[in-house]
């Protein structure tokens, strides 16, 4: 299918092609059994209390605002990770910000955490009735005064609906984000996230988590 669509897609700006893919997937055009694989059950794994149909997932960066994660799960992914999600809606960096490296079969991505914001994305997930394992990748807004607080806000908001949460401290497009690579600063962030976890666990009557 891709070989047929490739000439058309490569005539488009890469970000336009991406947006078109998301819009097309939102129509949920594929029948449930279209991508079934014989003996696929042998790929099932259990991790962190969750049953994954297979270990191959779609990383954050494609479905940034949880617009098409259920149709993507139907394509056969064992899990889909949305985001990166920030507390407030964010437009990201100025265009152009996605560049094709055709000879390498790769892209350069300088989008800059563009997404619809934590509350809208949470609402969308709750309405969507997720059909598989859903991860949420979280990060701070570019102009925030407190990156650690942004992480905690997003973590708290997705705690009850995400199957797992990824804390994004790797993007070079958000100034100061990689400061969390410092061991003490990262430990401080993790301790605050554990406090959020334990508060939520107390509400739900679960055990506390501790850092060792």
Q: How far is CA 54 from the centre of its chain?
A: 18
Nearest to 82 by CA among 162, 197, 25: 162
**List 3, 24, 32, 171, catalytic entry:** 171
Whether the upstream peptide bond of residue 84 has omega within 30° of 0, thus cis, is: yes
The DSSP code for 30 is S
The H-assigned helical ranges of 136-182 are 147-158
Residues near 154 by beta carbon (within 8 Å), at least 6 away in sequence = 85, 86, 87, 118, 136, 138, 139
- Under DSSP, is residue 78 helix (H, G, I), strand (E, B) or coil? coil
The DSSP code for 196 is H
Q: Is 81 exposed, middle or buried (0-12, 13-18, 19+ CB in 10 A)?
A: buried
Is residue 24 among the annotated active site residues?
no
For residues 138 and 83, is the Cβ–Cβ distance under 8 A? yes
Q: Which residues are catalytic?
A: 171
């Amino acid at each position: 299918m891709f070989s047929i669509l490739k000439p058309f897609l490569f005539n488009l700006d890469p970000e336009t092609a991406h947006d078109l893919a998301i819009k097309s997937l939102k129509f949920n055009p594929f029948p449930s059994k279209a991508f079934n694989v014989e003996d696929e059950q042998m790929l099932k794994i259990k991790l962190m209390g969750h049953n994954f149909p297979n270990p191959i997932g779609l990383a954050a960066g494609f479905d940034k605002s949880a617009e098409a994660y259920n149709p993507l799960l139907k394509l056969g992914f064992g899990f889909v990770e949305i985001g990166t999600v920030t507390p407030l809606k964010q437009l990201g960096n100025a265009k152009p910000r996605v560049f094709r490296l055709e000879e390498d079969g790769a892209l350069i991505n300088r989008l800059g955490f563009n997404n619809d914001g934590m509350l809208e994305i949470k609402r969308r997930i709750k309405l969507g009735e997720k059909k598989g394992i859903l991860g949420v990748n979280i990060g701070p807004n570019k102009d925030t005064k407190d990156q650690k607080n942004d992480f905690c806000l997003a973590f708290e908001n997705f705690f009850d609906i995400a199957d797992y949460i990824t804390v994004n401290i790797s993007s070079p497009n958000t100034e100061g984000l990689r400061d969390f690579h410092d061991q003490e600063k990262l430990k401080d962030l993790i301790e605050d996230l554990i406090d959020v976890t334990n508060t939520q666990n107390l509400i739900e009557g679960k055990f506390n988590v501790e850092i060792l």
